[in-house]
Amino acid sequence: MTLWLSFVAAGVLASLAGALWRVWRGPRRADRMMGAQLVGTGGVAVLMLLAPLGSWAALDVALVLALLAALAAVGFVKATSPDGAGDPEEEEETPRRKADG
């Protein structure tokens, strides 16, 4: 079983190479952020796969990494919105004028 977990963890690490390439060379900021999210998710997966092989404290580190990845996504959305408020779809609509009639 330990050989299988090591093999799967190596596969996940190999897929992270593509994500790091996208973070480094991504043409747009959104591509880079999605690559960073994949790195965070892959890091959590590797830590969870390797926890039974070594220290179970790696699960705590995996949970903290997942939390930081989620906070990075929220920060990215806030930073890229036009007014820094967050999701532009949730903005208040401007009131319409009532036609006098």
Has residue 96 been placed in a domain? Answer: no
Between the alpha carbon of residue 80 and those of residues 14, 35, 44, 45, 90, the distances in Å are 30, 16, 26, 28, 15
Total of domains in the chain: 1
pTM: 0.69
Tell me, yes or no, whether 95 lies in a domain: no
Domain extent, residue 54, equals 14-81
Within a domain: residue 55? yes
Tell me the pLDDT tens digit for each residue of 31-80.
888 888 998 999 999 999 888 888 889 899 999 999 998 898 888 888 87
What gap in Å lies between CA 33 and CA 41, rounded to an integer?
12
